Structure 1
Amino acid sequence: MSPRERHLPVTYQTQQLGRVVIRFSGDSGDGMQLTGDLFTSETASFGNDLATLPNFPAEIRAPAGTLPGVSSFQLHFADHDILTPGDAPNVLVAMNPAALKANIADVPRGGEVIVNTDEFTNRALQKVGYAASPLEDGSLDGYHVHAVPLTTLTVEALKGFGLSRKEAERSKNMFALGLLSWLYHRPTEGTEKFLRTKFAKKPQIAEANIAAFRAGWNFGETTEDFAVSYEVAPAAQAFPVGTYRNISGNLALAYGLITASRQADLPLFLGSYPITPASDILHELSRHKNFGVRTFQAEDEIAAVGAALGAAFGGSLAVTTTSGPGVTIKQETIGLAVSLELPLLIVDIQRGGPSTGLPTKTEQADLLQAMYGRNGEAPVPVVAPKTPADCFDAAVEAARIALTYRTPVFLLSDGYLANGSEPWRIPELDELPDLRVQFAQGPNHTLDDGTEVFWPYLRDPQTLARPWA
């Protein structure tokens, strides 16, 4: 039974929309990424096409309430096929003055702005340079502003759970999620199931978050401030028939590597040194030892690619994952792989840089480095996915090229694709390519005197690839 069925609704109107862009924004500790993820999951299960854009601060936990510490999550969902997370949000949820100031310029006039009025204190306003409250000085007159005391309402809803005020305040993101779920008619069962699973060892916390979520839903249904709710129909015509799930780019890429390994009947070896935003691939692949995956967290980038090349020598599907700063110092070993003509996948999840400058900001700045960053006569194929779900196909295709032609292959993704998500149709097994490789089993050439020898660079007449011993 949904929260709507548990309470008698007030009279409201429902408006049909073709597409919506929502941006959740607040401090890094406000749970905006989790809120966006849960809203995305319910939207995917409802059948909308969608694209997301998580946006993390580059600073390591900047001071609370400051502009550098603002974190946001944008979701674009529609009743038709879409390809981007959108530019201008129709709805901005701002948990504090910093979130409002950092994002309001992106909201078109007439857009909806939901603000947590409890955080608009004099000190918080001064911290981000507001001389007066934007809720009172007329600067937001061009927007539909909904001033909601999210923190107070959350604490009031959780009075019976024995939590301190600080503990109760942490659930205000779930109140906001409930309110937006009501406003856009999102399902609720998946969110409640997730919360019970996530906090299975802390049932009181689970139930408190669910209570905050339901309170947000009920607030939307009973307050006169939200007289209109919205519906975005499922995108039935946008998707071919099949089984779908919501997937991020890095997860799709990890699944693509595992799939390529299984289709090639080769063990998968990942040599990697953690680096944002590529580390998620290392984390994910380390969970799949049952598929013959071996992950090696090296002491540095050079050791990581060296170990991967060694695995290629040994007959594994070899992969190394990194970002731009790591590619720079892997180039010598990549050049060696070109010379040796061994299959090796170099996965570069691009970010702003160089070095540690903007680890959480996306950029596509490594193309020239991927193409020309080595010594002369060291060409490397480059594969680049176009969407988060396409990262799966790009990984399989990169492995196919590497295995067929015995060459290193660059796979260029980026931070936006890595962390963004969209619906992905799970492929049938008969749709996947056969990537099996025949290893050289013995001598492949006979000398004039009849001696049988192995020539490691004897060319296959069709692919011009050398044998893989």
Structure 2
Amino acid sequence: MSTLAEVPPVKTKREVLDQAVIRFAGDSGDGMQITGNQFTNTAALYGNDIATFPDYPAEIRAPAGTIPGVSGFQLHFSSNEVYTPGDAIDVLIAMNPAALKVNVADLKANGILIVNSDSFKEGDLRKAQMTSNPLEDHSLDKFRLFSVELERLTRRSLEHLGLDAKSMDRCKNFFALGMCYWLYNRSSEPTVRWIEDKFKNKPLLVEANKLALKGGYSYCEATEAFQVSYEIPPAQLTPGLYRSMSGNQALALGFVTAAQKSGLTLFQGSYPITPASDILHELSQYKDFGVMTFQAEDEIAAITSSIGAAYAGALAITTTSGPGMALKTEALGLAVAVEIPLVICDIQRGGPSTGLPTKTEQADLLQALFGRNSEAPIPVLAASTPADCFWVAIEACRIAVKYMVPVIILSDGYLANGAEPWRIPELSDIPEIPVKFATDPVSFLPYKRDPQTLARPWAVPGTPGLEHRIGGLEKQDPTGNINYEPLNHENMVRVRAAKVAAVAQDIPNVLPAGDLEGDLLIVAWGSTCGSITAALKAQRAKGRRIGHLHLRHLNPLPSNLGDVLKRYKRV
């Protein structure tokens, strides 16, 4: 029997496109996230602009072949600027009936549908709650259907290696990836290098995955079914060095950069929670930069350990999601009361309660603004894109140490797991973050205020002559002694609020995108930025006078916000 490599290639034509949206879907054990990430990295290295949307099942391991267990990865890559991961998809790779059922409604008419026909047996259809086989009942006639025996073809490519059937089947995602590389005329070399590094201690798996990847590519070359391939030229990006960056990776790098720019030790105390855990994983790799990570036993221990680190003079952060924010509430109020610099990342997810752990939502704004007992205002920032997370992390740290306040960063699962090209900045172009610790015992008072920022002194424990007490009981201004008097409490509440309001003096004036005045202004925040930008561009092309103001600083608001709002008929 001849091998795929021995079959002469079929002549195909190649079409040049501006963009494409591709989605990989299958069981959580089918390697869809790896497959999507590899295609993403290849597209980024080629020079395309990209936006991704990984979609994970909420269950740790749902039953194989069932709808709750479907995992997906969507990539939008283009020769032009990309704002979102895309809506309708051009290509869907479905590894089983459940993946097809969950995702086929998003596939464009005449879109390319590649299915693993080996997984469409009677039992597979039953687990996906299908009463008929869609590969046979003509329900998919409006798509360009390619029914491929992925498991059989993968085994055929690997049969000489001596692997068991289960090990060979695990390589079928790379067979599908090889097909996609052929379809979009992409080199498999970046993925080959990744395979060699990933499985460097398992040479048999290196060979198996490389052969599966090559097998998928060769299959498309050999079969007459695929008569068209596509070319998406590189995008005209601003010159520089780029890397594909997720929001959680960007936050982690932003915090490391802020630590370098402030000269402080970075400390993260966190409890694992979806979708924030990747920040802890990422920062744990930066021990060579003096980063300290602590995985706490619960959310309360996580934030209080960070408060202790901040009290000791570290640049302290803690990360969580909505349910964890609820558990951190009292300790967050403590950070407000003792006026400690601390950054809290809320990587939002669907709620309430446990809610939808792996699904995105940006519904924690009111919790961030007001979710503490009594009056405890906190500066709140929100990132708008995965790459923007880097700059928001630095800005939050700068505000925290300058004003001696806790700062909340709002991100979400879409930003955390999504990726885009990030232009790596020059470290010298990023401003320093000045830090001044109190050292003079003569003039020291724990709550003596800086006249411009209203910040109290940052006195590291052990500094001679600066002994003082902190805690959740109200303190006397400026001595720091415990005080229960109404007038003192009112004064401290007002001063803490005024200090947060003073942050506005460091917030740049906002400038709307689109029309600077007109019929409508869209005011938004968070991960809606890309979708609104795309909609704005489409509507302005029709002659409508629309502006878009995307806020990074949610508390306090930019000083010129009111003046901007007045320029539009509707907001």
Alignment TM-score > 0.5, same fold: yes
For residue 126 of structure 1, report the CA deviation from its aligned partner: 2.0
Partner residue in 1 for 2:448: 458
Partner residue in 2 for 1:106: 106
Partner residue in 1 for 2:283: 285
Partner residue in 2 for 1:305: 303
Q: Does 1:205 align with 2:195?
A: no
> SS of 2:29's equivalent?
helix
Partner residue in 2 for 1:448: none
> SS of 1:109's equivalent?
strand
324-333 vs 170-179, which deviates more? 324-333
User: Where does the alignment leave 5 or more consecutive residues of structure 1 unmatched?
Assistant: 444-451
Is 2:151–2:169's contact at 8 Å kept on the other side of the alignment? yes
For residue 222 of structure 1, report the CA deviation from its aligned partner: 1.5
| Aligned mates of 2:71, 2:293 — CA distance in 1 | 31
For residue 6 of structure 1, report the CA deviation from its aligned partner: 10
- Number of residue equivalences: 456
Map Cα deviations across residues 425-458 of structure 1 (whole Å, 9 max, x no partner).
Answer: 1110122121020111114xxxxxxxx4412222
TM (norm. structure 2) is: 0.78
| Aligned mates of 1:148, 1:291 — CA distance in 2 | 48
Residue type of the alignment partner of 1:45:
L
For residues 321-336 of structure 1, the aligned pairs below 5 Å read 321-336=319-334
For residue 381 of structure 1, report the CA deviation from its aligned partner: 0.9
For residues 6-17 of structure 1, the aligned pairs below 5 Å read 9-17=9-17
| Aligned mates of 1:333, 1:7 — CA distance in 2 | 67
Map Cα deviations across residues 264-293 of structure 1 (whole Å, 9 max, x no partner).
Answer: 000011111111111111111112111111
Partner residue in 2 for 1:396: 394
TM (norm. structure 1) is: 0.95
For residues 123-272 of structure 1, the aligned pairs below 5 Å read 123-236=123-236, 239-272=237-270
For residue 295 of structure 1, report the CA deviation from its aligned partner: 1.0
| Aligned mates of 2:281, 2:353 — CA distance in 1 | 22
For residue 88 of structure 1, report the CA deviation from its aligned partner: 1.3
For residue 10 of structure 1, report the CA deviation from its aligned partner: 2.2
Residue type of the alignment partner of 1:184:
Y
355-364 vs 314-323, which deviates more? 355-364
For residue 8 of structure 1, report the CA deviation from its aligned partner: 5.5
| Aligned mates of 1:6, 1:380 — CA distance in 2 | 67
| Aligned mates of 2:122, 2:269 — CA distance in 1 | 51
Is 2:5–2:218's contact at 8 Å kept on the other side of the alignment? no
Residue type of the alignment partner of 2:19:
R
355-364 vs 428-437, which deviates more? 355-364
28-37 vs 327-336, which deviates more? 327-336
For residue 130 of structure 1, report the CA deviation from its aligned partner: 1.9
Partner residue in 2 for 1:447: none
Is 2:275–2:347's contact at 8 Å kept on the other side of the alignment? yes
> SS of 1:30's equivalent?
coil
Is 2:113–2:143's contact at 8 Å kept on the other side of the alignment? yes
32-41 vs 359-368, which deviates more? 359-368
| Aligned mates of 1:65, 1:453 — CA distance in 2 | 70
Q: Does 1:78 align with 2:78?
A: yes
Map Cα deviations across residues 156-213 of structure 1 (whole Å, 9 max, x no partner).
Answer: 1111111112211111100000000110011211100110111111101111110010
User: Where does the alignment leave 5 or more consecutive residues of structure 2 unmatched?
Assistant: 460-571
Residue type of the alignment partner of 1:468:
W
> SS of 1:90's equivalent?
strand
Calculate the aligned-residue CA RMSD, in Å: 1.5
The correspondence for 2:412, drawn from 411, 414, 418, is: 414
> SS of 2:194's equivalent?
helix
Partner residue in 2 for 1:49: 49
Residue type of the alignment partner of 2:9:
P
| Aligned mates of 2:224, 2:8 — CA distance in 1 | 14
Partner residue in 2 for 1:446: none
> SS of 1:412's equivalent?
strand
